[in-house]
Amino acid sequence: MEETKKHKIVTVADLEEFKQDMLSAITQLLAFAKGPPVKRWVKAAEARRLIGVSPGKLQVIRDSGLLAFTKIGGNIYYDQEDLYKLFEENKVERRK
């Protein structure tokens, strides 16, 4: 019986069915792994929480030109990637 399974002819219809099953499984995995979307822009309060600084310190960083921002109405928004870059660019490597 095992021998007959090895020599079975695969049809185009079999391949199409296999393809659909695989695409469905991959789509489900990607949807599960993706999770909720990450907010790109955060308000000042969230930015302060992320980098652990006071309102005054955040303003000093912004005013010095170290951190880009967008102002819409009375709200100031920061790109989270810029916040992370600020830390990476100012990271002091540990001595060995």
Tens digits of residue pLDDT in 51-85: 899 999 999 999 999 999 999 999 999 999 999 89
Query: Within a domain: residue 60?
Result: yes
> Looking at residues 15-31, what average pLDDT do you find?
87
Find the domain containing 30 and state its range: 2-34
Nearest to 77 by CA among 87, 68, 86: 68
95 falls within a domain = no
Residue at 96 is within a domain: no
**In the chain, how many domains are there?**
2
50 with 30, same domain: the answer is no
Task: Indicate if 49 and 77 belong to the same structural domain.
Answer: yes
Co-location of 46 and 29 in the same domain? no
- Which whole number is the average pLDDT over 22-26? 88
Average pLDDT over residues 3-14: 80
25 and 59, same domain (yes or no)? no
Residue 4's pLDDT is what? Answer: 62
- 29 and 57 part of one domain: no
E strand or H helix at 82: helix 80-89
